[in-house]
A and B are shown apart, each in its own frame.
Chain A
Amino acid sequence: MATKQKLFMDACKKKFKEEPTDSSTKYYCFGGWKQSKSKVEFQKTAEAIAKKRGIPMLNEDIGVPLGQRSWMPYQLSHTDIYAEADDLHCVNNTAIQQAWDDIRRTVLVGLDSPHQTIERRLGKEVTPETITAYIETVNHTMPGGAVVQEHMAEINPALAYDSYVKVYSGDDELIDEIDPRFVIDINKLFPKDQAEQLKKAIGKTLMQAVRVPTIVGRIMDGATTSRHAAMQISMAFISSYKLAAGEAAIADFAYSAKHLSINMGTMMPARRARGPNEPGGIPFGFMADMAQSDRVHPDDPGRAALEAVALGAAVFDQVYLGGYMSGGVGFTQYATAAYTDNILEDYVYYAIDHIKSKYGGFCKLDPKDMDKLMKLGDEINSYALEMYERYPAIMEAHFGGSQRATVAAASTGIAGAMATGVADCGLNCWYLSMLQHKERTGRLGFYGYDLQDQCGSANSFAYRSDEGLPMEVRGPNYPNYAMNVGHLSGYTGIPKAAHVARGDAWTANPLVRVAFADPALVFDFANVTKEIGRGALREFQPAGERSAVIKG
């Protein structure tokens, strides 16, 4: 056991009066729900609403008596922000919503194909000037501006201020000639080595990062994003290149925008009751690419993995499974364990130190050496479980076994990924953690852990499409993962860990990676826990609000 100061100590001291090592405390003496500021606020609000509408609603005295133990605040990991659990519920937290909004409203649409259509089929010239003129036009149409009909309703720009289109490419010369207001500048936003990797991978392709208005995604659905983008892109082409609205070539623009574009989420089966481009369809590698910590903090691979975990927890566990599986419960307590109180932080940084001191650093462990991989997994997992046993404060902070199972397995998985540089090795370590956890403590998580976590060792290296995939392209809809909350956060962190350890500039897709480096996004994907914390403090300003069209 390491003797260093534990990273969770500050949170423990703020959460509980007792020493973190104390195994006894007092209960039933804290005044119930009234010890919680947010519960008091909720009760007062609900009473006023009930009076006004004549129908009772939330009543904190119904059901189990809340607040029988000390009401714990939660520290957003690697920040100084403390919040109440209520303020981390995805329905109460505008930052969490905006993280998902920004993902859902993004579609990447290449300009190479339409430029070929314009040049080869229509015989018109495409130059940096015409490209800039087009982008200026599409920045008018994308938020809902009209360009083709003279008598047309438009979207109030105050409702759609977050909608725009920017471009990026690996071709520095081309980018230099485009109005910089419309460019996501890889050279400026990424450290030099990452920028070089990204530009090489993207090549001369000119890609549009399209952001449809947040409010559109909220009113309609994720599948609408590419449709909205396709219509507005087509209109912008018609206007900027003076094309005929009815000519057959226009269909090519719409077709390529709808069907050759990159949605953030793949299609799920109908039984999931969601269209394409919904969170259940986002591959873990895409989500890892959206998390931008390693762009801003390139020397802190631990933070990179942890921020990816946080983003996965918020979007996959809270927004997606919190609704799809649990309805209004939101899985708040469950998912936030992975990004609060610096508990997973402590385990991950312990793992990094351990890999450096015992395994020669990142990517030095031979991925084929199963015995060494298991040894590492055993060491990190044992550390994580031991911390829960030595520090009753963190055991109580993670009072659900599913929280502990996720956090222990995430740290073990991240360790395996970093030590080998292979995400699938990390996933294998995740399952080792689960088996050992169950064996050691005689308990694990909820029923779901009996399914995937007991058979996961067997499919962790499977690449056949009905059994498995590389971890980078698995996602929440991978068969065993579709109904297992608490896992998807760690599953996002594992591929991220493998690729940051390798020094890669991206995890699964360089185009996604660059698109989410854009500082014009409402949510800052380089500071996930901080943003969620600002949401909890009610300081985050989301897009998509309707107040601009409401009197008073």
Chain B
Amino acid sequence: MAYKRQFYPGDSIPAKNRRRYMDPKVKLKKLRDVPMDDVVRIMGHRNPGEDYKSIHPPIEEGKEPECPIRKLVVPIEGAKHGDRVRYIQFTDSVYFAPISPYQRAWMYLSRYRGVDTGTLSGRQIIEVRERNLEIMAKEMIDNETFDPALTGIRGATVHGHACRLDENGLMFDGWQRYQWDAKKKEVVYVKDQVAIPLDRKISVGKPASQADLKKRTTIFRADGVDMREDKEVTMYGLRIHKLRTLGGYQPWAFKE
């Protein structure tokens, strides 16, 4: 029997969104188009137009040791060119941000190759060869997993995900890397990921409404969809715990 890949249980909105974000066959909705040069500026690893810095010669020029794994794995573009490994890190608010840190990790690992992710309570870092990173970063900023008010692009001083929202509905940021443009009713970045001031403001667009966010979010909350309302998700969590408890490190050996 051919294995059919499964992504996540449940029929609630957060559960469905988790499945959608993870499934690489689902094309995520593009909600904005932040120019690539501006994405590069916000990340702050290089200046737009500047050459990629490399940490080794292009793979084709080097003498790779004889290795069956190297033959199996096709290097991503950045690896082929010897790019540095650089990062983008997103902070996701608890107040119905479209996506949350673990779902980011699952999504990245399901959709991309050559990535290294790290997951914490408020933030999620993804590290990858630089030219691939830029493509990914633009996708992530442009698509439905990003909300200008509730998703932060933060390299350092990352907390704020659990703080209340400010009077304009923006997530707290100790460095104030982004601001509310009252005229345009948009969020603009004035500092890069590590809070170095940008030469000019970069708009990342208009925040979504709470109603819209509640449809897009992956977060279960008592004032949204409580996880216990989704019986399958609840059962799945309890079952994992029970099997691990009673089966130890051999959960398959436990017969219910």
Contacts and interface: CB of A to CB of B under 8 A. Distances in A.
A445 B159 CA distance: 12
A429 to B, nearest CB: 9
A445 B222 contact: no
A440 interface: yes
Contacts of A69: 163, 172, 174
A389 B228 contact: no
A23 interface: yes
A382 interface: yes
Interface string A448-477: 001000010111111000000000000000
Given A390-B223, A396-B162, A441-B100, A374 B121 contact: no
Interface in A375-410: 378, 382, 385-386, 388-390, 392, 395-396, 398-402, 404-405
A431 B240 CA distance: 11
Interface string A282-294: 0000000000000
Contacts of A388: 162
A461 B167 CA distance: 49
Interface string A39-78: 0000000000000000000000000110011000000000
A441 B245 contact: no
A152 to B, nearest CB: 57
B130 to A, nearest CB: 24
Contacts of A455: 244, 249
A446 B175 CA distance: 21
B220 A441 contact: yes
Contacts of B226: 382, 386
A444 B94 CA distance: 12
Most buried by A among B169, B174, B234: B174
A439 B101 contact: no
B67 to A, nearest CB: 29
Interface in B143-180: 156-157, 159-167, 169, 172, 174-176
B248 A374 contact: no
A18 B164 contact: yes
Interface residues of B, number: 54
B59 interface: no
A370 B167 CA distance: 47
Contacts of B219: 441-442
A400 B162 contact: yes
Interface string B66-101: 000000000000000000000000001011000111
Nearest to A382: B228
Contact of B245 (A396, A405, A444, A461): A461
Nearest to A445: B121
Given A374-B238, A401-B121, A436-B237, A443 B101 contact: yes
A457 B241 contact: yes
Nearest to A461: B245
A450 B119 contact: yes
Given A27-B172, A435-B240, A447-B119, A442 B99 contact: yes
A432 interface: yes
Given A23-B165, A435-B240, A439-B227, A28 B218 contact: no
B163 A396 contact: yes
Interface in B206-228: 218-223, 226-228
A26 interface: yes
Interface string A81-92: 000000000000
B248 to A, nearest CB: 5
A428 interface: yes
Nearest to B250: A458
B114 interface: no
Nearest to B239: A374
Interface in A302-343: none
Contacts of A374: 238, 241-242
Contact of B162 (A64, A395, A431, A436): A395
Interface in A270-286: none
B164 A370 contact: no
A517 B144 CA distance: 60
Contacts of B166: 24-27
B36 interface: no
B52 interface: no
A438 interface: yes
Given A64-B175, A443-B122, A457 B244 contact: yes
A435 to B, nearest CB: 5
Contact of A439 (B92, B95, B122, B237): B237
Nearest to B120: A446
Contact of A405 (B121, B157, B167, B247): B121
Contacts of B247: 458
A112 interface: no
Central interface residue in A396, A439, A443, by most chain B CB within 10 Å? A443
B117 to A, nearest CB: 11
Contacts of B244: 455, 457-458
Given A64-B157, A402-B121, A457-B241, A441 B94 contact: yes
B167 A26 contact: yes
B174 A443 contact: no
Contact of A370 (B99, B175, B242): B242
B175 A65 contact: yes
A385 to B, nearest CB: 8
Contact of B122 (A370, A386, A401, A458): A401
Contacts of B238: 374, 378, 432
B233 interface: yes
A435 B237 contact: yes
Contacts of A382: 226-228
Contacts of B218: 442
B94 A395 contact: yes
A24 B164 CA distance: 5
A431 B219 CA distance: 20
28 contacts: A18-B164, A25-B166, A25-B167, A68-B176, A370-B242, A382-B226, A389-B222, A390-B223, A400-B121, A400-B122, A401-B122, A402-B121, A404-B162, A428-B245, A436-B237, A438-B102, A439-B227, A441-B94, A441-B219, A441-B220, A442-B101, A443-B94, A444-B121, A446-B120, A450-B119, A455-B244, A458-B248, A462-B248
Interface of A: 18, 22-28, 64-65, 68-69, 370-371, 374, 378, 382, 385-386, 388-390, 392, 395-396, 398-402, 404-405, 428, 431-432, 435-436, 438-447, 450, 455, 457-462
Given A378-B238, A458-B247, 19 more contacts: A24-B167, A25-B167, A27-B166, A68-B174, A370-B246, A374-B241, A378-B228, A378-B234, A389-B221, A400-B121, A400-B162, A401-B162, A435-B240, A435-B241, A438-B102, A442-B92, A442-B219, A457-B240, A457-B245
Interface of B: 92, 94-95, 99-103, 118-122, 156-157, 159-167, 169, 172, 174-176, 195, 218-223, 226-228, 233-234, 236-238, 240-242, 244-249, 251
10 nearest A-B pairs in the assembled complex, by CB-CB distance:
A401-B121, A442-B100, A457-B244, A440-B227, A389-B222, A458-B244, A386-B222, A25-B164, A399-B162, A440-B220
